[in-house]
Structure 1
Amino acid sequence: MARKIDTEEGRVAVRAALGDAPTRNQTAMAVRYLLQLLEEKAPGKSVEVRVPPFGAVQVIQGLSHHRGTPPNVVETDAATWLALATGEKTWADTTADGKIAVSGTRADISGILPVRW
């Protein structure tokens, strides 16, 4: 992630994105802010969390990944990420619903969710 999102700016975006009619920009900033918080909470490079088209981060200590497709990937859409990262939905709910694509032996990130925003 290039630029660090200011805490208040991020919180405003998350509240807006969880509202009734968020703009694309609000959703994008909220997704990036919550990914930023996840990266701060669990720094590392063993699992890549992707929320296309808005952002991706590498988290969790362990074997690092440098090129190509990482061995441990979590990928989901923006709405699911927002619900998961804020605690509106659980990891079990979203994986059971098929809302998250998970690959790799370390890709279960339920232990670091939700993030405090």
Structure 2
Amino acid sequence: MPARLRLADPAELADALDRLRAGGDERVDLKLVVKHVLAVLEQRAPGHSVEVRVPPYAAVQCIPGVRHTRGTPPAVVETDARTMIALAAGELAWADAVAEGRVSASGERTDLTPHLPLL
């Protein structure tokens, strides 16, 4: 099971978001924001039935339901960092991200719409 993530310092998070919105693509900023977003998701939707992956930065298990402990989880959401940040900020709708192929979601309870936005 992935380790629990910690929330970012609010000032550091705001600075990283500002740099990313200004067109920056620093891996350190992407990593900080993605880890923060996934930590918020983990807190708001505790559970272990869905694994949300944002490679190469982080993954969390969340959403109430059957606990997954070994092998490939039965429910997986995977996306890139920029898409996860846009979803978390409410700048991109879940349905649009899935329809555009920016999110791969398989299994039960993988629609994250009820948990978005996160920022």
| Superposition TM-score, scaled by structure 2 size | 0.89
Which residue of 80, 102, 117 corresponds with 1:77?
Answer: 80
Equivalent runs, 1:21-60 vs 2, <5 Å: 21-60=24-63
CA contact (8 A) 2:7 2:40 kept: no
Alignment correspondent of 1:64: 67
CA contact (8 A) 1:11 1:30 kept: no
Alignment correspondent of 1:15: 18
Percent pairwise identity = 45
Which residue of 89, 97, 113 corresponds with 1:86?
Answer: 89
Name structure 2 gaps, 5 residues minimum: none
Q: Quick one: which amino acid aligns to residue 81 of structure 1?
A: M
Q: Quick one: which amino acid aligns to residue 87 of structure 1?
A: G
Tell me how many residue pairs correspond in the alignment: 116
Q: Deviations over 1:28-86 (max 9, x none)?
A: 11111111111111111011100000000111111110011100100001111111111
State the 1:105 CA deviation.
1.8
Q: Quick one: which amino acid aligns to residue 65 of structure 1?
A: H
Name structure 1 gaps, 5 residues minimum: none
Which residue of 90, 114, 117 corresponds with 2:117?
Answer: 114
| C-alpha distance in structure 2 between counterparts of 1:2 and 1:42, whole Å | 13
State the 1:5 CA deviation.
3.2
| C-alpha distance in structure 1 between counterparts of 2:77 and 2:92, whole Å | 16
CA contact (8 A) 1:14 1:30 kept: yes
| C-alpha distance in structure 2 between counterparts of 1:45 and 1:101, whole Å | 18
